[in-house]
Amino acid sequence: MSSAPRDVTQLLFDWNNGDQQALDKLMPLVYDELRRLAASHLRRERRNHTLQTAALVNEAYLRLIDQTRANWQNRSQFFGVAAQMMRRILVDHARDHQTAKRGGGAPKLSLEEVIGASDEKSGEKDVDLIALDDALKDLAVFDPRQSRIVELRFFGGLELDEVAEAIGVSVSTVKREWNMAKAWLFNQLSRR
């Protein structure tokens, strides 16, 4: 990630404490990273997707600054929430453009793109973004932390150490739960 973690974290603390100027200083520091995140998400979308990178960044940023109850802890948490916002925006957009038949117009991803499975067969099955969102919701019912790890890694593009910092666990815990979550998702998404 490109912005200085200490600078972003300090501005988030200042913003928490009511400093509106901190918010103005924050955007230039995080914009490039938000744009990278958005571009990464949109590369996985269908070619004729109507949502552009700048629009996704702007929509996510507007939702982020509207978080009046957020207690910003650090940079990783901020980008984790940004990833969650982008996921919601893209899923809402996919739902809006879906045809009457489930999955008819939803963006398709290979299982390899979704969970990074190494099984050669994984790339043969396409998964729509709505199915992935539904599977993550199912995962969250019995293991919210694993669902959050997938969200931060896949939608947030966070590294293992950044995920660990964002959710307050060790890197080894993140690795273990990331692998378990990928296996569970592979199983769930293969059935759909």
CA distance 28 to 117: 35
Q: What percent of the chain has pLDDT over 90?
A: 9
- Torsional sign, CA 44, 45, 48, 51: negative
Tell me what pLDDT residue 146 has.
92
Strands (E), 1-142: 108-110, 126-128
- Give residue-wise pLDDT tens across range 104-143: 555 555 555 555 543 444 444 455 777 888 888 899 998 9
pLDDT (mean) for 153-182 = 88
CA distance 61 to 54: 10
Q: Which domain holds residue 181?
A: 5-191
- Give residue-wise pLDDT tens across range 75-91: 888 888 888 888 888 88
Q: Which long-range contacts (CB under 8 A, 24 or more apart) does 26-35 make?
A: 27/61, 29/3, 29/4, 30/3, 30/78, 30/79, 30/82, 31/57, 32/2, 32/3, 33/1, 33/2, 33/3, 33/79, 34/60, 34/61, 34/79, 34/82
Tell me what pLDDT residue 184 has.
87
pLDDT (mean) for 145-154 = 87
Give the chain's domain count.
1
CA distance 108 to 88: 16
Task: Name the pTM for this structure.
Answer: 0.64
Q: In the chain, count of helices (H) and strands (E)?
A: 9, 2
